[in-house]
Chains A and B, each alone.
Chain A
Amino acid sequence: MALDSKMNRVFKVVGTRPPRPDGVEKVTGRAMYGADATAPGMLVGRILRSPHAHAIIKSIDVSAAEALKGVKAVVTAADFGVPDDLSIRDVQDNCMAQGKALYHGHAVAAVAANTAAIASQALKLIKVRYEVLPHVTDVDEAMRPGAPIVQEGRALENVAAGFSENVTSQCEFGHGDLEVGFAKADKVIERSFTTAATHQGYIEPHACLASMSPDGKGDLWCCTQGQFQVRTLCAEIMGMDASQLRVTASEIGGGFGGKTTVFIEPVALALSRKSGRPVKIVMTRDEVFKATGPTVSSSMDVKIGMTNDGRITAAQAQLRYQGGAFPCGTVEMGAQSAFACYNLDAVHTVGWNVLTNRPKEAAYRAPGAPMAIYAVESVVDELCQELGLDPLNVRLKNASTKGTKSSYGPTFDDIGLRATLEAAKAHPHCSAPLGPNQGRGLSCGFWFNFGGNTCVSLNINTDGTVGITEGNPDIGGSRAAISQMAAEELGVPYDKVRTIIADTNSLGYNDVTDGSRVTFSVGLATIEAARNAIKVMCGRVAKIWGIDEDAVIWEDGCAKPSGANAGDFTPMSIEEIAAISSNTGGPIAGHFEVNADGAGVSFGVHLADVEVDPETGATKILRYTVFQDAGKAVHPDYVEGQMQGGAVQGIGWALNEEYIYGKDGLLQNAGFLDYRVPVASDLPNIETVILEIPNPGHPYGVRGVGETPIVPPLATLSNAVARAIGIRLFELPMSPPKLLKAIRQKG
């Protein structure tokens, strides 16, 4: 669906900042999150988890637990079937270990009981006999021949020889002649980097309430980024028809990609089926860390050649990502995005996905991109330092632009990287003075953005107000943005529109809320649904006026004659048309279903000033500015919120956050006290500059915005720290002990 030709239109609602529709409910505590669901006769579910990183489950004796008064059901892997689809089987096995515990915290059994205390007591009565196996949690160690094998037989046909079986897939991208390119360079730098696994860190733990009835119907309420995806996975695992399982998404307290799959929902359904009672499971924070998806950790090599005047002549990267105990496809996105910001004649990336004894990775905002771009942007910055070049000018010189053959293959259409860099260059932040131990860092960032399956129903109520039903949980302000686009198209005030999120039996299939797709895809479908409703209304008015349908146009919320030749009729408002709908043909609605394509790629540039305390190694962020091509910003508050939120998560990744495993393969910091996310007092106000380069693939020019802003902070801060103290670290996070050690080693 192409950009409207009348893109010089003046928007009346789109681009404004109305109050958020969920604000009052959330600040007064009325909003219903996953843990708020209740049902008569509800039981409490609890899950027993492996104390070992890697172990064969020799036997599970649940008899004592089942005999405990108040226990209504106990399930293990034996209560589940074996799905035909391997990817579904992986999801199921991650929810309940089948034969082997693959990581510390892997679920091995579950209990439903009258109270939480009884459930917890019952877990202690379950006797699991393990045979502990050697484990591996480090990506480089896991790749070596002879490493403990996490799962056998999972390597795809495309993996080269010479690796352990833990290497499950390999990918390769690029074009041009690297040898020729590097020969043209005046300076070549090659560095190796590592990044830690980080958790999405959503405040709301996973929670669900499952209710299976004796006739095989099921209801599930849960916090998720995609109720339809939950239905697909759970129906397959439970052997149910999709029509018989209704999934309702609660309000969501953060997801960032981590709630695009299931962890506890099939377990709750199995407990409910076995007990005949509704079962609620709410994860503890400890469980969230141990058994839900963090992102991958990485080990990377990057080599870049540059001329004395700052032209990149060749670029090469090898990326090794561990995605936990099950195969993943994350390195493909990293390998494609690593050099996307640059117009290169010679570029080559290779990536490997690797199994380890860690929890199965889950998507996290721009999955795979932040770490790859961190490594690339760090080497670019070091080259600038070595050659005495301005880092912003070097990026402008090499920036991808319209017509650039991207490092992953396609030729870019209209993109906003150059405009974003120029905005950064012109911003006062770029030239502000710095003091001692202070440094300024810069990084570009990129994300693809996606569309996907989308279904919207738009109803014109009999009073002329508008109800919209859509199928994607609102994780970033989509209800407001969708209402705004409907109001814009229909020519009605924003407050006459209300958008709600449907359950899986109330609307056609929608993909999960991922890939920064919702404002783009659901917005596009909403605009089309509104246009369909307008067509219905114009048709009815044409009949009332006795003229051709083509002679009626829609403007400012009214049907009007298209011109003098159409006749002299008083315009009819949407309220007037809706009020007589029963006389003119019945309810008025517009629908639209699409697998949306044409999501425009997105670029961002971040600038940060930091001060490093040489006494403690602590990094204080003094100033931080985000520049991003957002396409048309439908609700700028939310766009700015996405830019700020992504930046803050990236800051945490750069400075403090990491999964820490002991030599025993056990996770040592499963809680927010030891896994430190940035809090408000750690941060300055994150300044934002929105650039609105229209996406040619959307009628209003909308692009996705939610993922790109987590990409640049890693290198932005690494580059800032390197310039502040003259020491460049090649690993993340740059926590105070690591920085202090580096400062002391430098002397």
Chain B
Amino acid sequence: MVKVTIWGSLRSATDGQVEVEVDARNFKELLDRLATEYPGLKPQIERGVSLALDGKIYREAWFTEIGPKSEVVLMPYMTGG
């Protein structure tokens, strides 16, 4: 199981939980499980999210492996200038 930190405005979709646990080995599995187990997250996931894995920001890479002790933080999809 992977602990995922959810940003504040999404917590209404996780019954107020700051952290949720899902069974996932990579970014894609994590997003799929989150959308299934917390349907309120699905609109945001479809619009796009980034993922911070052990401090590094990943924007799209589905198959980035996530270890059971990894720090996983869901973030809005990021753009720059």
| A residues whose Cβ falls under 8 Å from a Cβ of B | 156-158, 170-175, 200, 256-258, 260, 329, 332-333, 336, 348, 350, 363-367, 408-413, 447-453, 514-517, 595, 597-599, 697, 707
Contacts and interface: CB of A to CB of B under 8 A. Distances in A.
A710 to B, nearest CB: 9
Nearest to B44: A158
Interface of B: 5, 7-12, 18, 43-44, 52, 54-61, 64, 71, 73, 75-81
B9 A515 contact: no
Nearest to B6: A409
Residue among B43, B58, B59 with the highest chain A CB neighbour number at 10 A: B59
Given A257-B81, A329-B76, A332-B76, A598 B56 contact: yes
A516 B9 contact: no
A409 B80 contact: no
- State the 4 A-B residue pairs at the shortest beta-carbon distance, nearest first: A257-B81, A515-B80, A172-B8, A410-B52
A552 to B, nearest CB: 32
A724 B79 CA distance: 37
5 contacts: A171-B8, A333-B76, A412-B55, A452-B59, A597-B61
Nearest to A695: B56
B68 to A, nearest CB: 17
Contacts of A333: 76, 78-79
Contact of B81 (A171, A366, A597): A366
Contacts of A409: 5, 7, 52, 73, 75
B54 to A, nearest CB: 7
Contact of A329 (B7, B52, B79): B79
A364 B12 CA distance: 31
B4 to A, nearest CB: 10
Residue among B12, B56, B61, B79 with the highest chain A CB neighbour number at 10 A: B79
Nearest to B8: A172
Nearest to B43: A157
Given A408-B73, A598-B56, 5 more contacts: A158-B12, A175-B18, A409-B75, A514-B79, A515-B81
A553 B72 CA distance: 39
Given A332-B76, A517-B80, A158 B9 contact: yes
Contact of B80 (A158, A367, A697): A367
Contact of B57 (A260, A332, A453, A597): A597
Contacts of A697: 56
B60 A595 contact: yes
Contacts of A514: 79-81
Nearest to A256: B81
A708 B58 CA distance: 19
A249 to B, nearest CB: 17
Nearest to A412: B55
Contacts of B5: 409
A448 B55 contact: no
Nearest to B62: A595
B79 A367 contact: yes
A336 B75 contact: yes
Given A412-B55, A413-B56, A450-B57, A171 B79 contact: no
A448 B75 CA distance: 12
Contacts of A257: 80-81
